[in-house]
Amino acid sequence: LRLLPPGTEMSGSIGFGGMELTRASEDKMREFRWKKAALVTQGAMNSLTPVLTVGYQIAEVLRVRLGMAGDEARKRVAELLSMTSLPPGYARKYPHELSGGEKQRAVISMAVACSPEFLIADEPTSALDVITQAEVIATLVRMVRDKGMGLLLVTHDLPLALSISDEMAVMHEGRLVEKGTPERITTSPSHAHTRTLLSAFSLTARSGP
């Protein structure tokens, strides 16, 4: 999404739908963000503005990005909240009136407001209890499947990644060291770091070179 501070050194190539993101203009990137790809950051539930209602904050995205306002925006806000299993009446609530899991679902509603093709979720369940984590992940999985969106889940929770992924990538010290289907990663990992991860979670890992 090109959200790193100015002056950050980048190398390599990132393509999306025929667009080379590392060389795209800032105007094109502004169009790309939200409408093509959206981000749910780690600890996103703390990013809600405390003095504004949840509905106002979601509607602001609709107004700025899509030019939507009035009854049309209110209807869309209600739809977005329902998509993440929140009652439409939550639009009138302030962040402090919501639980941690409810805040996280509200942030997810905001992230998908412009119907992006791709959603990046960076540790979306951090700081949540186990039951709430499961509820948030179930909401994410159901939503991306219903809407046909792609999902890139960044997580340290290997069992979670194995349970919901179509394809996985393992990183070590900032480098991609292995990728494959969950079945292949579990049964025949090719990199030592992958085998270490599997062993740490008491998951199956065949010995390798």
Strands lying side by side in the sheet with 118-122: 37-40, 118-122, 150-154
* DSSP output for 105-152: HHHHHHHTTT--SEEEEESTTTTS-HHHHHHHHHHHHHHHHHHT-EEE
**CA 54 – CA 110 distance, rounded (Å):** 9
Count of domains forming the chain: 1
pLDDT of res. 8 = 81
Asked, for residue 17, whether it belongs to a domain, the answer is no
**CA 135 – CA 137 distance, rounded (Å):** 6
Asked, for residue 121, whether it belongs to a domain, the answer is yes
Q: What range does the domain containing 117 cover?
A: 24-155
**What pLDDT, in 10s, does the model give residues 64-79?**
999 999 999 999 999 9
pLDDT of res. 206 = 45
**CATH value at residue 62:** 3.40.50.300
Please determine, for residue 203, whether its predicted confidence score (pLDDT) is greater than 80: no
Mean pLDDT lowest for which of 36-45, 49-58, 154-163, 198-207?
A: 198-207
